[in-house]
Amino acid sequence: MIEGGHPLEGRVRVGGNKNGALPIIAACLLTEQECVIDNVPRIRDVEVMADLVQATGAEVEWTATNTLRIRAAGDLTPSIDRMLSVRIRASILLAGPLLARCGSVLVPPPGGDVIGRRRIDTHLHAFAALGADVEVERDFTLTAPGGLVGTRFFMDEPSVTATENAIMAAVLAKGETTLINAACEPHVQDLCRFLVAMGAEIDGIGSNVLTIRGRAALGGARHTIGPDHIEVASFIGLAAVTPGVLVIEDVEPEDLHPVLHGFERLGVRIELDGRDLTVPDDQELVIRDDVGGQVPKLEDGPWPQFPADVTSIAVAVATQATGTVLIFEKMFENRLVFTDKLVSMGARIVLCDPHRALITGPSRLVGERVESPDIRAGMAMLIASLCAEGTTTIGNVGQIDRGYERIDERLRALGARIERISG
């Protein structure tokens, strides 16, 4: 329950990258030696991933609030727990490590946010290219009794999770693998750095062509997960629509170029000083038109384009900016369906089709009862509620908890009037 209209002021440190933590936890299955991961966000999706890894037979221990110790010694169960897998999309990330380590794996269909069709074909094509036999029924059965073999593989889409799965399978394959049209988001790069620390050989990190030279075995490693650029974007959105000065500490500037460019299109002023990012007070949000006064378009795409996970946040900020902007979410056809919740609060949004929303602002928002359908839509409604008149109640906050650690406590520390209630 949020009472709007109060300034956010102070300093906040973002957590570790959720989308980096999930594959890195899965990658610990590639070695029998101990791995220690620091700056792990203590959120629901990460805890489910830790449970999935433990269900294979690995030792998993939280040694501190944000530190995980994992040791996958001995024989592992070559299957992914069905009951846990339906809770997160990232359950499929265990397929690559288990296939490489055990020679086979049974993969139930993954769950996750209902934001549109999320194909897994690229995962299966990559495994097949590496020499696995793929059997598709209700579940997916992958077998490679003779081991995986390096290959040259063109990914038909730069899927983040498919790229991560292919990398994790390839690091234990015989010979050299080249992945073309690979995803290169910051969290993919972080996974690669962790694997290199374990002894893997990977060239081209940060590009869309990766070369992996397989090793017979990998060792343990200690790794600190990088800051979450999506959470940075979320706090920028929160600060842009409320009074007050907010300083976001210890960001990674190289991960923020597309995010900052997108917010600048919406008129958000941002100051970057080393690894500290400041959202100043008295924002005058004016959407920057295209040449000739044409309506601008803010569209997402594979890295280094504007991140798909920030489009919902951009929609909420745009409701408070003067002008009109077209948000074009090309990657998931259900991502923008949540905009009806903002319309019920007073936003002027035309949902042109499942991928495009036209937003005209600024709109006077009023408190309402809304439900959170997915992680980022939940954050967008939280942004809207903080600048709305009156009180907003957001239901199904478990969705927000999947991506943001203790968000209510952290916002209260900045001056927000927010309480977690039951019912």
Q: Which helix (H) or strand (E) holds 161?
A: helix 160-170
Res 118: pLDDT: 60
- Name the H helices within 241-364: 257-265, 311-318, 339-344
Name the catalytic one among 45, 81, 113, 408: 113
Catalytic residue check, 276: no
Q: Which fold has domain 2-15+227-418?
A: UDP-n-acetylglucosamine1-carboxyvinyl-transferase; Chain (3.65.10)
Cα–chain center distance at 278: 23
- Start-end ranges of CATH 3.65.10.10 in the chain? 2-15+227-418, 18-224
- Give the span between the Cα atoms of 257 and 61, in whole angstroms: 36
* Residue 127 burial (C-beta neighbours within 10 Å; 0-12, 13-18, 19+): buried
DSSP 138: S
Q: Which fold has domain 18-224?
A: UDP-n-acetylglucosamine1-carboxyvinyl-transferase; Chain (3.65.10)
Burial readout 313-337 (b: 16 or more C-beta within 10 A, e: otherwise): bbbbbbbbbebbbbbbbebbebbbb
Res 104: pLDDT: 96
- Residue 55's closest CA among 34, 43, 70, 37? 70
Reduced to 3 states (helix: H, G, I; strand: E, B; else coil), residue 29 is helix
Reduced to 3 states (helix: H, G, I; strand: E, B; else coil), residue 51 is helix
Per-block mean pLDDT, blocks of 10 residues, the chain (423 long) = 95 96 98 98 95 98 97 95 90 96 93 59 95 92 94 96 98 98 98 98 98 97 97 97 96 96 97 96 94 95 95 98 96 88 97 96 96 93 97 93 94 96 79
- Give the span between the Cα atoms of 246 and 270, in whole angstroms: 10
